[in-house]
Amino acid sequence: MSHDPNCIFCKIVAGQIPSKKVYEDEQVLVFHDIHPWAPVHILLIPKLHIPSLVEVTGEHAALLGHMSTLAPRLMKELGVTNGFRTVINTGPDGGQEVYHLHMHAMGGPRPWLKG
């Protein structure tokens, strides 16, 4: 499995940096965002180091499908009942800050409005 020793998310996956874990399996780690934009804001990250969505190929289809079907289940388990938003920021113009593919899932009242 690919790993970047300088990547903060790879360090979280390796247990070198603590996180408030929500879920983990052989493919992904899910944890609460440290700077939430909504009452519930989690990050779904693959354990495989993929720098961004631009790097995704057909071989990653099952992984992205897993992340996409996991998000609604976890949001429901976390008490989000009135909808949520998923976002994958890609590249500098897309607002990506950490270059390890990750999906934000944000729920609660108007999670996209930063106050």
Active-site annotation, residues: 102
Q: Give the E-state strand segments of the chain in sequence order.
A: 21-24, 28-32, 40-46, 84-87, 103-107
Give the phi and the psi of residue 104 in degrees, each rounded to 5: -85, 140
Among the listed residues 34, 99, 93, 25, the one whose alpha carbon sits nearest the alpha carbon of residue 63 = 25
